Amino acid sequence: MTFDPLQLVQQDSIEQISSTASSDSPNTPSRRTFLTTSAAATAIAGTANFLTRSAHAAGSDIIKVGLVGCGGRGMGAADNAMKADAGCRLTAIAEVFYDRMEAGKLQLKKSLGSQYEVPEEQCFSGWEALDKILQTDINVVLLATPPGFRPAQMEAAVKAGKHVFCEKPVAVDAPGVRRVIAASALAESKGLCVVSGLCWRYDYGVKATIEKILSGAIGDIVTIQENYLAGTLWIRTPKPDWTPMHAQVLNWLYYRWLSGDHYVEQFIHSLDKAMWLHNDVPPVSCSGMGGRQVRTELEYGDIYDHFSVVYEWADGTRCFASTRQMKGCFNQTEDFIFGTKGTARVLAHEIKGETNWQFEGKKDKPSMYDLEHVALMKAIRDGKPINNGDYMCKSTLMAIMGREAAYSGQVIKWDDAFASEMKLGPDKPDWGPAPEVEVPMPGTYKFIDA
């Protein structure tokens, strides 16, 4: 069956969409575009006049924002949202842990000043916090919890009629990706915004460099090398009263049902640029390797600490993608692009070709984190919804297929990755037993559908 989000959205049934997998051939439009931009979709979006449903639309009105997840990024996103539009107010908070919610409230009250307008009755903790915040009159929800929770939260937010800022990655498995594709299509049909936390898409220097490459500044792209060679991230030392589930949720980076592994959680920023450089046409297959050489202790859950994956596109171009999280090693985060007439480095904003080029104003450019929210709030005010659903889902799946190639040692095809029914983590998390932790062993572990 060919994947057609529009047809299914017309039935307004997320469940039906999320159970639909693509079996189309690599170059059909349905593989190129998860979210259709057909005239019919535009017509649906046009008839769903969200301005009449939202009191905040007129220029001087208040945009009410709710934050889900009082962690590092959630605090940052709330700040970015308030800075983006003087009419924004933070009016509700949801956080699974009561103590983190209380700490978050204090910090936000201080940092947001008069834009903090959160009454006590709009602060929610526990597993139901997301459902409760969606019942308030917020216009926009900022989703900044671990990625494993994103598909359910995104689906609920769109069903509740909220504009969404959605941190990356959007899922940790293919069923989750399909659920977010469906939710994004539903958002489009309802005239709601979906803005992705894949922030480099909003960076002036990166955007200018990629646009130049795509307009032929280095000829045709032959090869891409994506490096994200970095040190380690934080770990929260477990306290005696933490249950295993408590410890996993707080140290979510190290559990693939929550983070997708650092290959998905962090490296997606680089993979997304390779996807963008292919005009958002996904690769047909990949193979790779990886392992867990340094971070072998139990506290590091079940993720690897290094990966090296090669992606191949239908036109023969390749992307060599390497990432590492280890202390004391060579670090480098850069996108190297090799073309028939030159080379480029995207993060350096530099092109060497028939005409050399360097983006000017690298030091003075505005923060890409602010720019995402400026775009979101402007789109809401102008009544011209932005929907980043297509690329955020494709890049998430590209990361998932690379991770699975390294875990299994198998060649993974895009279509198989997309159709996969392998689901990580519990359907409905609670404080019961934590999911079992087992490190995938290449050659033994199998990607379920390959």
Ligand X SMILES: NC(=O)c1ccc[n+]([C@@H]2O[C@H](COP(=O)([O-])OP(=O)(O)OC[C@H]3O[C@@H](n4cnc5c(N)ncnc54)[C@H](O)[C@@H]3O)[C@@H](O)[C@H]2O)c1
Q: Using CB under 6 A as the criterion, which residues of the chain lie in contact with ligand X when the complex forms?
A: 68-74, 94-97, 100, 129-130, 144-147, 149, 167-168, 197, 199, 249, 265
Find out whether 229 and 331 touch, Cβ atoms under 8 Å: yes
Question: Cβ of residue 45: shortest distance to ligand X, in angstroms?
Answer: 26
What kind and span of H or E run contains 43? helix 39-47
Q: Which is nearer to ligand X, 41 or 67 (CB)?
A: 67
Nearer to ligand X, 70 or 92 (CB): 70
Q: How far is the CB of 25 from ligand X (least distance, A)?
A: 33
Please, what is the minimum distance in Å from the beta carbon of residue 282 to ligand X?
Answer: 21
- When the beta carbons of 83 and 100 are compared against ligand X, the nearer one is 100
Residue with smaller CB distance to ligand X, 97 or 338: 97
User: CA geometry: angle at 368 spanning 276 and 326, to 5°?
Assistant: 75
* Min dist. Cβ of residue 132 to ligand X (A): 11
Q: What does 341-389 look like in DSSP terms, one character per residue?
A: TEEEETTTTEEESSS-EE-S-TTTPPPHHHHHHHHHHHHHHHT---B-H
Q: Which is nearer to ligand X, 8 or 144 (CB)?
A: 144
Residue 96 backbone dihedrals phi, psi, to 5 degrees: -65, -35
393/179 Cα distance (integer angstroms): 10
- Cα three-residue angle 20-21-25, rounded to 5 degrees: 140
Which residue, judged by CB position, is nearest to ligand X in the bound state?
71
CB closer to ligand X, 71 vs 288: 71
Q: Which residue bears the tokens 């979210």?
A: 35
CB of 309 to ligand X, least distance (A): 19
Q: Exposed, middle or buried, 114 (CB in 10 Å: 0-12/13-18/19+)? A: exposed
DSSP letter assigned to residue 434:
P
Least separation, in Å, of the C-beta of 195 and ligand X?
11
Question: Which is nearer to ligand X, 249 or 347 (by Cβ)?
Answer: 249
Residue closer to ligand X by CB (options 274, 399) is 399
- Other beta carbons within 10 Å of 113: 9
CB of 95 to ligand X, least distance (A): 5
The angle at the Cα of 162, spanning 160 to 167, to the nearest 5 degrees, equals 115
Tokens encoding 418: 């997309």
Nearest approach, Cβ of 233 to ligand X (angstroms)?
A: 8
